[in-house]
């Protein structure tokens, strides 16, 4: 739960300072989704991962390793 609190703060700061498709912002959101999953908050994890995947699909080439 402490990790989730901290990661939420990181994601919020990056949301204010970085573009929606910035790799660091997406990595932070991905980490938060992992923390949600580890904490049993599967629905929250899936919702966040769906956002990350949609952005990566839009901005990265089909064969890009991060996609």
| Nearest alpha carbon to residue 30 among 8, 52, 1 | 52
State mean pLDDT over 13-35.
Answer: 96
**pLDDT recorded at residue 1:** 87
**pLDDT recorded at residue 36:** 98
Unique residue bearing structure tokens 């929250």: 44
Residues 25-65: pLDDT tens digits? 999 999 999 999 999 999 999 999 999 999 999 999 999 88
**pLDDT recorded at residue 67:** 78
State mean pLDDT over 2-30.
Answer: 96
| Nearest alpha carbon to residue 59 among 29, 26, 36 | 26
Token readout for 5 is 């609190």
Number of residues written out for the chain: 67
Q: How far apart are the first and last CA of the chain?
A: 28
State mean pLDDT over 3-17.
Answer: 97
């Amino acid at each position: 739960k402490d990790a989730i609190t901290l990661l939420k703060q990181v994601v919020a700061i990056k949301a204010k300072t970085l573009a929606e498709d910035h790799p660091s912002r997406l990595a932070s959101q991905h980490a938060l989704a992992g923390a949600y999953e580890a904490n049993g908050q599967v629905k929250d994890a899936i919702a966040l991962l769906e956002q990350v995947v949609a952005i990566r699909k839009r901005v990265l080439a089909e064969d890009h390793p991060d996609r």
